[in-house]
Structure 1
């Protein structure tokens, strides 16, 4: 891992273009094949955190699952411009339940 952590965002252009203005690397992708390719490429480039719209994440669950046991990259679902579909919160809920054995949310 390089000294400076790298951030990236994957999703549809209208939802993530604001991140580009903040200096975060943006990867516009809508098709499952392109999203999966972007995740693997960013991981290979030692990106520390990949934010991905929930809608894009729903298309590539296998690619995201591959990195859940790896220290990097952390892949974090975020809502897109239309709002949330609950995927990010579901992931948090599953992790809490796994850690303590009960759903406290």
Structure 2
């Protein structure tokens, strides 16, 4: 079975425990960087990180994106949504599909108008 963890401030992540995910409350960037490395070494398949915490770990997360595992997915926290998580998902989908199908800026078929 694949291991999944959720990292971030306690208020943002405690609900994930109810669906069986490992929750790791952390707010300090140095501590979070060490935990992120440990989770990678322990072969976690997916690591969810609150956007606020991820903004403090950009360098570490970018290095991890070069590897197929773990998938690092940004989630909004209780302290707000920076939009970075959805931006990353849109980039991944665009890379896989070849166009931005998630923008919501679709043209009507046949008439070239929005």
Q: State the TM-score, normalizing by the size of structure 1.
A: 0.86
| 1:21 corresponds to 2:18 | yes
| 1:81 corresponds to 2:78 | yes
Higher gyration radius (CA): 2
Aligned residue pairs, count: 101
Match of 2:38 among 21, 38, 41: 41
C-alpha root-mean-square deviation of aligned residues, in Å? Answer: 1.6
The alpha carbon displacement at 1:28 in A equals 1.0
Structure 1 segments of 4 or more deviating over 6 A? none
Separation of aligned partners in 2, 1:11 and 1:23: 16
The alpha carbon displacement at 1:58 in A equals 0.5
Separation of aligned partners in 2, 1:71 and 1:93: 18
Number of the residue aligned with 1:90: 87
Gaps in structure 1 of 5+ consecutive residues: none
Separation of aligned partners in 2, 1:94 and 1:20: 29
How big is each residue's C-alpha offset from its partner over 1:29-86, in whole Å with a ceiling of 9 and x where there is no partner? 1111111111111011110000000011110001101111211100000010133110
Gaps in structure 2 of 5+ consecutive residues: 104-114
Separation of aligned partners in 2, 1:95 and 1:23: 26
Separation of aligned partners in 1, 2:80 and 2:21: 21
The alpha carbon displacement at 1:22 in A equals 2.2
